[in-house]
A and B are shown apart, each in its own frame.
Chain A
Amino acid sequence: MKHFAKIAVISCAACLALVACSKKEPPKTEPTPAPAPAAEAPAPAAAPEQPAPNADSLAAEQARLEAERLEAERARLEALINQIMSEDVYFDFDRSELTEKARELLAQVGELLIKEKRFTLTIEGHTDDRGTEDYNFTLGAKRAMKVKEFLSAYGIENERMESVSYGKEKPKVEGENEEAYSQNRRANFRVNIKQ
């Protein structure tokens, strides 16, 4: 359980790192052409006396806005990723069919993925503690696949999704009772960001 939490944190951190890195590049290409005409345009109109301090403060202001925009974008992506990673899909015992609730939830995830084209998903299938390790791997795989098929039908490209089964090896809740079992019969997501 601890281990799993660690992985979640790591992958979350990895995602953020990716956001941080990947977000730096587009601004470099986008804004550079944008301020150029802006700087040129006022030049002929206004007096050429004090271009230096003006340009400086303009650039500083722009950098500040850009940093703010990046920060906001990062926070937004982080929130989205957290949302997707917290949206676990639950299953009935020894079943891999999606429940009505699961479909509703997956539709929301699908919507997010359509908007955020750079998100790719690892879909993890899990089972509860009952039964053998071997069969639970196949069961977890079936669950992850059902989720992948749903999202594929929703319009998410297959190349953006991979599925993996953890069988009963990574329970969310420890314990030998239906409460724990029902929490562990699930599929969950790890989000990565494509460059």
Chain B
Amino acid sequence: MKKLLFFLLVFLAPVVSFASIDTIAVDVGISVFKTMPLGVVPFNESAGIDWIEEHPHQILTRDANLSGRFDVVASDKFNLALFSRSHAEYYITGKVEPQKDGKLRVECYLYVSKSKDLLLGESYTVQQKDLRRAMHAFFDEVTLRLCGERGVASTKLAYVSKIEGVKQVVVSDYDGFHRSQVTRDTSISMMPVWTLQNKGLVYVNFKTNRPRLYTKNFGGSEKPLFSQFDQTYSPAVNPRTGELLFSSTKDGKTDLYLGNTETGKARKFAYLKSNQTSPAWSPFATEVMFTSDRGGGPQIFVMNKDGSDMRRVTFMGRYNERASWSPSGDRIAYTSMDNGKMNIYTCALDGSDIMQLTNNAGNNVHPTWSPDGKLIAFSSNRSGSYQIYIMRFDGANVTRITQGGENTSPTWSWFYDNDKQQTKEGAK
């Protein structure tokens, strides 16, 4: 009898552990998304401007192409035949005049192609170095007018850039321009996320020889966070309260903690036997996605913000990690490993309707949604080194936005609530 029991134990044990890795095959879908053709005509530029930046129509063309919403129909001058044939019902143009104080006065117009009715007119008086930001602001107005939604041309990305061999946190405009360095340490900085209202960043630094969270407001000084914990990383900012969900490892066990960055107080978020990392808030902070290794490898789970009702989300493959919740709340983007290669997928909240967004192009990791949900930024080593790319939410239109060095781990900012003010102040 004892022998039989022993036999059962020995032979059933592997069966049980296999059962916990319940992998099922799921079809990968393809989405069709229609973009709007948009005519772009070069601005009427006064002679005598010494161009150092790109010309206004070039900046707007790039915004339109990156937006995931428009297809640019380029034309040297207004061309109704071309616009009609290409179904470009609207077009953008404008004019640029130098001012006495060296600034540029830029008038931007959005017209209906057929009737030449003016839909939108804005003017900006800026230094040439701030022209880009002014054009982004105008393009966001165009998006709002034509799509009824806010565009992301004035948003930013935080990411990690290797500078003189050390990973540093940097911030740039969403299109990779106007890059500025946030950390200047001799030790690794990584995993930047934006605090509310884009006031600053939370990130990980190794200056104590352990991964530890820090926060820094732009223009302010660095402050260590939750130093009562040993190793802290994987920060996720609650989009409503600004509280921080993060991973902390103690004695080899990794758990999620919820903390207040002002008071420094934190408590364990969920009491689970498995290790948990990579938390991601739902848009209204009612639920949290995270990665657990309770099936052996990493898989994505979801639970309510009080730690109840935990469900497994990903079932396809053995390595699904780092969920990022879409702003509309209906899908997640995540990274999956297959045959040692990392690729980006999205799926519905119950794990169904899986879409593979990257394929056959090196490793593709760290997806982050634009605040309008139309785009996903990620890092890929398809060119030989890791660089930041932007693609549409369905994987189309992949555009590289960083050049040179090594750039990883992008996190998209929130919307800027004071966009207009910013561009006006940009002249300072």
A134 contacts the other chain (CB 8 A): yes
- Give the complex CA separation of A169 and B160 in angstroms: 12
Assuming A134-B321, A137-B234, A165-B211, what are 18 further A-B pairs, CB within 8 angstroms? A2-B165, A94-B319, A131-B342, A132-B278, A132-B322, A134-B278, A135-B278, A135-B321, A135-B322, A137-B211, A138-B254, A142-B252, A145-B251, A163-B252, A165-B231, A167-B211, A169-B167, A169-B190
User: Which residues of chain B have a CB within 8 Å of any CB of chain A?
Assistant: 165-167, 188, 190-191, 206, 209-211, 231, 233-234, 247, 249, 251-254, 275, 277-278, 291, 293, 297-298, 319, 321-322, 335, 337, 340, 342, 363, 365-366, 409
Q: Is the CB of B247 within 8 A of A134?
A: yes
- Give the complex CA separation of A21 and B58 in angstroms: 66
User: Which residues of chain A have a CB within 8 Å of any CB of chain B?
Assistant: 2-3, 94, 122, 130-135, 137-138, 141-142, 144-146, 148-149, 163-167, 169
Q: Is the CB of B247 within 8 A of A138?
A: yes
Contact among B191, B231, B297, B335 with A141 in the assembled complex (CB-CB below 8 Å): B231
**Contact flag A141-B252 (CB < 8 Å), given A164-B231, A169-B190:** yes
**Contact flag A133-B191 (CB < 8 Å), given A94-B319, A138-B254:** yes
- B409 neighbours in A (Cβ, 8 Å): 133
- Give the complex CA separation of A2 and B231 in angstroms: 24
Q: Is the CB of B249 within 8 A of A165?
A: yes
B380 smallest CB distance to A (angstroms): 13
Q: Is the CB of A148 within 8 A of B252?
A: yes
Q: Is the CB of A135 within 8 A of B298?
A: yes
- A131 neighbours in B (Cβ, 8 Å): 298, 319, 321, 337, 342
19 sampled A-B residue pairs with Cβ under 8 A? A94-B297, A122-B209, A131-B298, A131-B321, A131-B337, A132-B322, A133-B190, A134-B233, A134-B247, A135-B291, A137-B231, A141-B254, A142-B252, A142-B275, A149-B252, A164-B210, A165-B211, A166-B211, A167-B211
B97 smallest CB distance to A (angstroms): 49
Interface residues of chain A: helix, strand, loop or mixed (majority) = helix
**Contact flag A130-B252 (CB < 8 Å), given A137-B277, A169-B206:** no
**Contact flag A132-B254 (CB < 8 Å), given A137-B247, A169-B188:** no
Q: Residue among A94, A148, A149 with the most chain B CB within 10 A? A: A94
B322 smallest CB distance to A (angstroms): 5
Q: Is the CB of B166 within 8 A of A3?
A: yes
**Contact flag A138-B249 (CB < 8 Å), given A131-B342, A165-B211:** yes
A84 smallest CB distance to B (angstroms): 18
